[in-house]
Amino acid sequence: MKKECVLVCGGAGYIGSHTTVELINAGYDVVIVDNFSNSEMSAVENVRKITGVEIPCIEADCCDMEAFRKVFEKYEFNSAIHFAASKAVGESLEKPMLYYRNNLTSLMNLIDLMREFGRQNIVFSSSCTVYGEPDKQPVTEQTPRKPATSPYGNTKQISEDILRDSMAAYKGMKTIALRYFNPIGAHPSAMIGELPRGVPQNLVPYVTQTAAGIRECLSVFGDDYNTPDGSCIRDYIDVTDLAKAHVAAINRMIQGRSEENYEIFNVGTGRGVSVLELVNKFQEVNNVKLNFKIAPRRPGDIIAIWADPTRANTVLGWKAERTIEETLASAWNWEKHLRGIK
Which residues are designated catalytic?
A: 152
Instruction: Determine the Cα–Cα distance for residues 303 and 119; give it in Å rounded to an integer.
Output: 40
Instruction: Centre a 10 Å sphere on the Cβ of residue 94 and count the other Cβ atoms it contains.
Output: 10
Q: State CA 24 to chain mean position distance.
A: 18
Strand partners, 79: 6, 121
For residue 1, the 8-state DSSP code is -
Q: Which residues pair with 201 in a beta bridge?
A: none
Q: Give one DSSP letter per residue of 197-235, joined into a string.
A: SSS-SSHHHHHHHHHTTSSS-EEEE-S-SSSTTSS-EE-
- 326, 250 contact by CB (below 8 A): no
Residue 300 phi, psi dihedral angles, 5° rounding: 85, -5
